[in-house]
Amino acid sequence: MRAPETWFPLRLLVCETCWLVQTEDHAGREALFTDDYAYFSSFSSSWLAHADAYVGAMRERLALNADSCVVEVASNDGYLLQYVQAAGIPCYGVEPTASTAAAARAKGIEVVERFFGVALADELARAGRQADLIAANNVLAHVPDINDFVSGFARLLKPHGVATFEFPHLLRMVQGCQFDTAYHEHYSYLSLTAVQRIVAANGLAVLDVQELSTHGGSLRVFAGRADAASHPHATADGASRVRQLLADEAAAGMLGADFYGDFQAQALRIKRELLTFLLQCQADGITVGAYGAAAKGNTLLNFAGVRPDLLPYVVDKNPAKQGQYLPGSRIPVVSEAHLHAHRPQRVLILPWNLRDEVSAQLSDIRGWGGQFVTAVPRLEVW
C-alpha cells in the first residue's frame, strides 16, 4: 500500500476519416496482460450461458463436426472451448496470460500461450492448424495493433472458414453514456463502420452481423477470407443486415463529430449523481458496499474520486482478486462472506451489465432490507 502506482491519462480520440475511436495514451500489452492476470471468464454464469449458446449456434450454422477445427483467440480459462470440446470438435485456444491458460489446460484444453498476430498465425498455418471457425469474443478492442491482429485471422482461416468478432458497440456506448467501459485494456471502441474498413484492409470481408445484449449492447461480426471466390456462408440476408446496420449508424450521426460531443457532459452528470448518493448515504447513516472488482468499476470510481471513506469495500467472488485493492481508489476487495457479515443497506453493482445475474446471486440481501444500486447510465436504486 505504500508503493507508488503508475497512472495513465484516459482520453478518447475520434478519427474523422474512418470513425475509429481509440485511447490517446495507453500502456503496453505486456504490462496489462500479465502472468497473474486476474480476469477469469468462468466466474460469470451468464457469460458461460452465452458461450454455450454461441457454440450451439455455430455448430448448426457452420455444420461443425469431428473433422472441423475451432480456434478461440483470447481463450481465457476455457470458458467457451469447453463446450466445443464436449461436442467432440477439435479445438485449441490462443491466450497470452499464464494464469488463465493454466486454468484452461486443467480442463483438458490445448492452449498456445502467445499474443496473436500475423507471425503466430503464419506459424500455425504452416503447421497445418488452420481453422474452420475462429472465435474472438471481446478481444478486438484489446489489441494495440489492430491491423496485425485482424490480418492474422485471414492467414489462419481455411479458404471457406469464418471468423466471428464480438465487441461492445460504440453506438450503444455513446447513447447510454457507458463511459466506464473506457479503460486502458481497451485500445479501440468499435462500430460496424470502422470494423468493416479494418477487416477489408486486412484480407477479410464482412459476411453478416448480429446485435447482442451483452455488455450493454454488442455486435457479433461474421467475416470470411476476401480471396474466397464464392464464400459458402455469404448470404443475401447477411449482406442485408450489414447494409441496414451501417445505415443505422449513419442515421444516428456516428459519421459526424457532433455525435460524440455530449459524451463528456453525460459522464460528469453520472459522476455528480454517484457522489451525491454516497455523500447522502453517509450523512444519513446508510451503509454501502460495492460488488464486482471489474475494470469498468475502476474507471467509474477513479473518475468520481471515490475512496474508502465513501465506499469501504468491494465484494468479488473471484479468489484471485480477494485480498487485493482496487487501483487508484485503493478500496479493498473482499469475499461474499464479508458482505453477509456486514449486511450493507445498499449494494452498488459496479459491472452494471451483470446486474440481473448479481442481483439474483445476492437476492438474500432483501432479507435485511438491502437494496441494489447502479450508477450507469443514471443512478438507480431498487
| DSSP assignments along 300-312, one per residue | HHHHHT--TTT--
CB-based contact 77:44 (threshold 8 Å):
no
- How far is it, in rounded angstroms, from Cα 244 to Cα 250? 10
Assigned domain for 374 exists? yes
Please tell me the pTM assigned to this model: 0.91
Using the CB atoms, write b or e for 200-211: b if 16+ within 10 Å.
eebbbbbbbbee
Say if residue 24 is in the same domain as residue 169.
yes
Q: What is the mean pLDDT of residues 73-90?
A: 97
Confidence at 336, pLDDT banded by 50, 70, 90: very high
Share of residues in the chain with pLDDT > 70 (%): 96
Amino acid 1: pLDDT: 65
pLDDT at 9 over 90: no
Whether residue 3 lies inside any domain: the answer is no
**Per-residue pLDDT at 5:** 82
pLDDT at 228 over 80: no
Is residue 171 domain-shared with residue 59, that is, in the same domain? yes
Q: Are 326 and 298 in contact (CB under 8 A)?
A: yes
Q: Which helix (H) or strand (E) holds 267?
A: helix 263-284
Please report the pLDDT score of residue 35 as a whole number.
64
Q: Which residues contact 101 (CB under 8 A, 6 or more apart)?
A: 75, 93, 95, 111, 113
Q: What is the pLDDT of residues 175-214, one digit of tens each?
A: 999 999 998 888 999 999 999 999 999 999 999 999 999 9
**Measured distance CA(77)–CA(71) in Å, rounded:** 14
d(CA 97, CA 102): 9
Residue where a domain stops, chosen among 259, 280, 298: 259
pLDDT band at 3 (very low <50, low <70, confident <90, very high): confident
CA angle 215, 243, 195 (to 5 degrees): 50
The total domain count for the chain is: 2
pLDDT top residue among 195 and 228: 195
Instruction: Say yes or no: 33 and 94 in one domain.
Output: yes
Predicted local distance difference test score (pLDDT) of residue 31: 63
Per-residue confidence (pLDDT) for residue 344, from 0 to 100: 98
Mean pLDDT of the chain: 94
> How many CA atoms are closer than 13 Å to the CA of 240, on its beta-carbon side?
3
* pLDDT given for residue 82 in this prediction: 98
Q: Which three cell numbers stand for residue 360?
A: 439474483
Domain boundary among 259, 293, 321: 259
**Cell numbers that stand for 322 in this block:** 480477494
Question: Residue 32 — very low, low, confident or very high, per pLDDT cuts 50/70/90?
Answer: low
Same domain, 23 and 150: yes
Q: Verify that 157 and 279 share a domain, yes or no.
A: no
Q: Determine the pLDDT at residue 30.
A: 64
- What's the pLDDT at 94? 98
Question: CA-CA distance, 372 to 218, in Å (whole number)?
Answer: 25
Give the separation between CA 117 and CA 150, rounded to whole angstroms. Answer: 7
pLDDT tens readout for residues 268-321: 999 999 999 999 999 999 999 999 998 899 999 999 999 999 999 999 998 989
Decide if pLDDT at 38 tops 90. no
DSSP 139: -
Residue 8 pLDDT grade (very low, low, confident, very high; cuts 50, 70, 90): confident
**Assigned domain for 1 exists:** no
Whether 235 has a pLDDT exceeding 70, the answer reads yes
pLDDT at residue 4 in the model: 78
Domain end call among 259, 287, 311:
259
* Least confidently predicted of 46-50, 89-93, 308-312: 46-50
CATH of the domain at 313: 3.40.50.720
Tell me which residue range forms the domain holding 190: 12-259
Residue 345 Cα distances to 48, 224, 287, 289, 373, angstroms: 30, 51, 5, 8, 10
Nearest Cα to 378, choosing from 256, 267, 254, 250? 267
- CATH number of domain containing 144: 3.40.50.150
Name the phi and psi angles at 219, rounded to 5.
Answer: -120, 145
Task: Answer yes or no: do 217 and 255 share one domain.
Answer: yes
* Sign of the dihedral through C-alpha 63, 68, 74, 75: positive
